[in-house]
Structure 1
Amino acid sequence: MNKLLLLLLLFFISKTGRAQEILPLWNGGIPKHIISSEKEFIATDRKIIWIEKIQVPTIKVYHPTKRFNNNKAVVLFPGGGYKGLAYDLEGEDFAKWLNTLGFTAIVVKYRVPVSAALKDKKEVPLIDAQRAIRLVRANAEKWEIDTNKVGVMGFSAGGHLAATLGTRFSTTYSYKKDTIDNLNARPDFMVLAYPVISMQNGVTHNGSRTNLLGKKPTKELIDLYSNELQVTAQTPPTFLIHCADDGAVPVQNTLLFYNALLENKVEAEMHIYQKGGHGFGLGKNVGDVGNWTDIAAEWLDKL
């Protein structure tokens, strides 16, 4: 019976596409990593897959069927307040959806700065994000991806990380590099859902700011990590989605970023829903916001 199930599984994969792959971000030493007794934690008492204290950052690659592959890729950054990752709600669920549109989808399990196994903690998420998009481009031929059609999608604090990558993709850090680290880290497009954008008082999500920058960050740090202040003409085209009644991340985050994109003549599209709250993911059974993925799919198709 087990052999029969295996044969059926292999047949299904051959007809529908390749199986998912999990790859480490770093082949050698992991930058800014401190050896400690800390262990990765996956919560089992929630309705979502929640991961904390990531020790070994990875990417999980979801391949579309070869027949419908559009040669584009989306790198996904789940949110979690820079404390953990809502890995399925804002990662795996969207990877499966993107596959139906023809995209190769890559879920990033990036390190979060509250971990005790990190030094220079505020730098680590961006280092992992840069490596993730470079690793996708390094495998572009194998995965049948156009290196000029690799975008990002981020949610909440993961939206902050995606926006940081989109505005500060050329930022360099000191660690032992390989040939992959020489590849382009600029996303070709961005989709940001209920993103943390700003670190400024009265606008930011306080938990994300504290976890990333500490309890008493300097003005210089606050400004550096306020992505509305980092937009340039080189920032990628961006799709933004937020709800006015978001009680966790104020909608002003999206408004500020949208205005900064317009000021720098960057192609941008924004949709604000009256109700939907925060962390709605695909938006199913959440009211008006339930059609946002259809609108996002149209925008992605126009690219």
Structure 2
Amino acid sequence: MTLDRRALLSASLALPFASAAAKEAWTRPAGLTPDASVALWPGGHIKPPPGLVEQVVQRSDDPDASDRMLQGITRPRLDIFRPAKPNGAAVILAPGGGYRYVVVDKEGYELARWLKDRGITVYVLFYRLPGDGWIDGADVPLSDAQRAMRLVRSRAGADGIDPARVAFGGFSAGGQVATSLLTRFDAKVYAPVDSADALSARPDVSAGFYSVVSMDPAIAHAVSREKLIGINPDAAREKLYSPERNVRTDMPPLFLLHAENDSVVNIENSLRLHEAARTAGVPCEAHYFAEGEHGFGILKAAGLPVAIWPELFRNWLAARKIV
């Protein structure tokens, strides 16, 4: 499929953030409420570390622009956004937060609503954090990502989706979750708990938005690296948790998005993964923009060329026959 960039630019004028009035409507928190929430794991299967308390922290003082983060996650789950007329496509989103917390609105609910309005069923994943004291802490985000893929496929009939059209995307540290799943979708990181675990955890397509990827200290996001693999990991551990060093020919097609002026997560994370995917012969579409900084999501992209990114992502999903 050939994307007409002029058509895309025209289409972007119709995005919710195109005018001040539309932007106000977009930021209204009442529109960012999931339709349902389901636990990833059966009751009693996971036991939170002693003293871990889940809490929501509101980082915005603007009543029309909610910016919440979830800390100390004890109940990993999927918040579901169901369109009025599902088109069969599903997208699982892993928000960022430097492996210290998981962002709720900016990298979860906002894109979920945007995709929901276009017929896509969306699942926002609140995954466990590796620095919170869980056993096998470095693998708990991947365990939750694998389980999310399997659980979503097991719910295909109930949610009106096609189990062969499931995308997994992540932002920032959530992009590290997504790209780890990209290369380790069949790693044995947890024991099966029910019939859902007989299903594949391989996404049909994968996406990384300004992603943390590499654990190479030269380019890694320092906080994410420390939370995931510790301060002084050995070479084997550093490699295992660096998706760009573990690419495989059977991994799913990939979509990458990054701003060149990102001062938080070096764009080299995306560039290295892009090159590794190309070398492996795996389809990879990448969009790099001069401006946008880090964590632009939808709202902070307003007025910049990068604001077109949701349409680019949706058109790529269409080109891959997900939507």
* TM-score for the superposition, normalised by structure 2: 0.84
Q: Which amino acid aligns with 1:40?
A: E
**Is residue 81 of structure 2 the alignment partner of residue 62 of structure 1?**
yes
| Matching of residue 137 in structure 1 with residue 156 in structure 2 | no
Q: Equivalences for 1:200-211 in 2 at 5 Å?
A: 200-211=216-227
Which deviates further from its counterpart, 278-287 or 80-89? 278-287
**Judging changes above 3 Å, is the alpha-carbon distance between structure 1 residues 35 and 215 closer, same or farther for their aligned structure 2 residues?**
closer
Instruction: Name the structure 1 match of 2:37.
Output: 22
Counterpart in the other structure of 2:100: 83
Q: 2:262 — aligned with what?
A: 246
CA RMSD of superposed structures (Å): 1.6
Q: CA deviation at 1:227?
A: 0.5
User: Secondary structure in 1 aligned to 2:67?
Assistant: coil
Distance 1:139 1:248, change over 3 A: same
Q: Which of 57, 71, 95 is 1:52 aligned to?
A: 71
SS of equivalent residue, structure 2 residue 258: strand
Give 1:186's aligned residue: 202
Q: Distance in 2 between matches of 1:88 and 1:287?
A: 20
Aligned position for 1:153:
169
Superposition map of 1:122-133 within 5 A = 122-133=138-149
Worse overlay, 88-97 or 37-46: 37-46
Q: 2:106·2:297 contact (CA, 8 Å) conserved in 1?
A: yes
Aligned partners of 2:73 and 2:100: how far apart in 1? 10
Determine if the alignment matches structure 1 residue 295 to structure 2 residue 309: no
Among candidates 40, 47, 68, match of residue 54 of structure 2: 40
Alignment partner for residue 122 of structure 2, among 105, 111, 127? 105
Partner of 1:14: none
Native 8 Å contact 1:114 1:212 kept in 2: yes
Q: Percent identity?
A: 36
- 1:270-281 pair list within 5 angstroms: 270-281=286-297
TM-score by length of 1: 0.89
1:270 is paired with a residue of what secondary structure? Answer: strand
Check if 1:93 corresponds to 2:110: yes
Q: Please list the CA deviations of residues 266-299 of structure 1 after superposition, one character each: whole Å capped at 9, or x if unmatched.
A: 1111111011100001253252211111211211
* In 1: Cα distance, 2:315 partner to 2:146 partner: 27
Q: CA deviation at 1:142?
A: 1.2
Aligned length: 282
Matching residue's letter, 1:99: K
**In the alignment, is the contact (CA less than 8 A) between 1:276 and 1:286 conserved in 2?**
no
Counterpart AA for 1:30: H
Counterpart in 2 of 1:6? none
Deviations along 1:131-188, one digit per CA (max 9) or x if unpaired, are 1111100000111111110011100000010010111000013446221112110000
* Distance in 1 between residues matched to 2:102 and 2:231, nearest whole Å: 21
Partner Cα distance (1:182, 1:148) in 2? 15
Q: How far apart, CA to CA, are the structure 1 residues paired with 2:55 and 2:204? A: 33
Q: Distance in 1 between matches of 2:192 and 2:149?
A: 18
Alpha-carbon displacement from aligned partner over 1:99-121 (angstroms, at most 9, x marks no partner)? 122111000111111213x1111
- The 3-state SS of whatever aligns with 2:74 is coil
Q: Which runs of 5+ in 1 are unaligned?
A: 1-18
Pairwise CA distance, 1:38: 2.1
Distance 1:29 1:199 in 2: 33
Query: What is the alpha-carbon distance in structure 1 between the residues aligned to residue 43 and residue 235 of structure 2?
Result: 35
Structure 2 residues not aligned, in runs of 5+: 1-33, 61-65
Alpha-carbon shift at residue 70 of structure 1 (Å): 1.6
2:258 and 2:289 in contact (8 A); partners too: yes
Deviations 1:82-133 (A, max 9, x none): 11011111111111011122111000111111213x1111011101111111
**In 2, Cα distance between the equivalents of 1:184 and 1:205?**
30
Provide the rounded CA distance (Å) in 2 between the counterparts of 1:80 and 1:126: 15
